[in-house]
């Protein structure tokens, strides 16, 4: 929600409270009761849409998984360099990327998995105290990054849809407020106290005004 939408959302809440406080004046089935009920539902729908706009969890999860994958690769590369002391060229296929970008890391991880596939290669790492299931763990960590990426894309799509929904709901809420404002004026026109309470509840704070630039004073000639 942007600031403009938040101000309207807050106003909807105040109008809903006014409706609750004066519910006895709006019997079930009356137009006023229906409009207040519509507004209450819009507020509930806005709460759901607001929750859908919140992101960042997927990105955080992927970052943690990338760090885990990088650690896997560092262990593999370090061990490969040790083995290469007696098997020249062995470490060539297990070189960490110079580019720190995630794409480069993932490409290198895929290359590591290919290089580990031939018979006997993994056994050389295991002989140097790597866990017996290190290849399976490394492969799982690589797949987990893809799963996190898919989740991020899904979250992003959901956030965009929620943002569109917020706009539509704000518009629907303003429509209900317009109906209610007419009803309140007709019903409470002769009751200044209640009318004042409604006007206060349905008031929307103005958007902040930008400060006008002050003219630069013209220097006084000596």
Q: Are both 140 and 166 inside the same structural domain?
A: no
pLDDT tens figures, 143-196: 888 877 755 555 555 455 556 688 889 999 999 999 999 999 999 999 999 999
User: Are residues 163 and 146 part of one domain?
Assistant: no
pLDDT band at 117 (very low <50, low <70, confident <90, very high): very high
- Give yes or no: residues 177 and 193 share one domain: yes
In the chain, the number of structural domains is 2
Closest by alpha carbon to 202, among 18, 3, 6? 18
**What's the mean per-residue pLDDT of the chain?**
85
Question: What is the average pLDDT across 205-218?
Answer: 58
Residue 218 clears pLDDT 80, i.e. is over it: no
Residue 73 lies in a domain: yes
Q: Supply the range of the domain harboring residue 170.
A: 3-56+154-201
Same domain, residue pair 184 and 174: yes
pTM: 0.49
pLDDT of amino acid 106: 92
Together in a domain, 127 and 142: yes
155 compared with 8, residue with greater pLDDT:
8
pLDDT of 65 reads: 85
Per-residue CA distances from 38 to 5, 7, 83, 175, 177 (Å): 18, 19, 71, 10, 10
Integer angstrom CA distances of residue 53 from 2, 5, 10, 84, 154: 11, 13, 17, 51, 12
Q: How far is CA 107 from CA 95, 137, 140, 148, in A?
A: 11, 17, 15, 16
- Specify if 221 maps to a domain: no
Identify the pLDDT of residue 56.
46
Same domain, 77 and 140: yes
Structure tokens at 84: 């290469």
In a domain, 220, yes or no: no
Would you say residue 189 lies in a domain? yes
Residue 135 lies in a domain: yes
């Amino acid at each position: 929600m942007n600031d403009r939408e938040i101000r309207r959302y807050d106003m909807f809440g105040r109008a809903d409270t006014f409706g609750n406080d004066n519910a006895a004046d709006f019997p079930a089935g009356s137009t006023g009761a229906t409009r207040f009920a519509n507004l209450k539902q819009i507020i509930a729908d806005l709460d759901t849409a607001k929750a859908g706009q919140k992101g960042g969890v997927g990105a955080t999860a992927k970052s943690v998984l990338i760090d885990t994958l990088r650690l896997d690769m560092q262990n593999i590369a370090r061990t490969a360099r040790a083995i290469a002391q007696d098997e020249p060229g062995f470490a060539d296929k297990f070189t960490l990327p110079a580019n720190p970008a995630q794409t480069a890391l993932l490409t290198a991880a895929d290359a590591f998995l290919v290089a580990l596939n031939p018979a006997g290669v993994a056994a050389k790492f295991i002989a140097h105290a790597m866990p017996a299931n290190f290849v399976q763990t490394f492969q799982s960590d690589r797949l987990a990054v893809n799963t996190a990426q898919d989740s991020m894309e899904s979250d992003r799509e959901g956030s965009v849809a929620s943002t569109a929904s917020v706009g539509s709901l704000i518009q629907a809420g303003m429509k209900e407020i317009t109906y209610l404002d007419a009803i309140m004026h007709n019903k409470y026109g002769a009751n200044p106290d209640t009318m004042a309470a409604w006007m206060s509840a349905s008031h929307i704070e103005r958007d902040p005004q930008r400060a006008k630039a002050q003219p630069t004073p013209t220097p006084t000639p000596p």
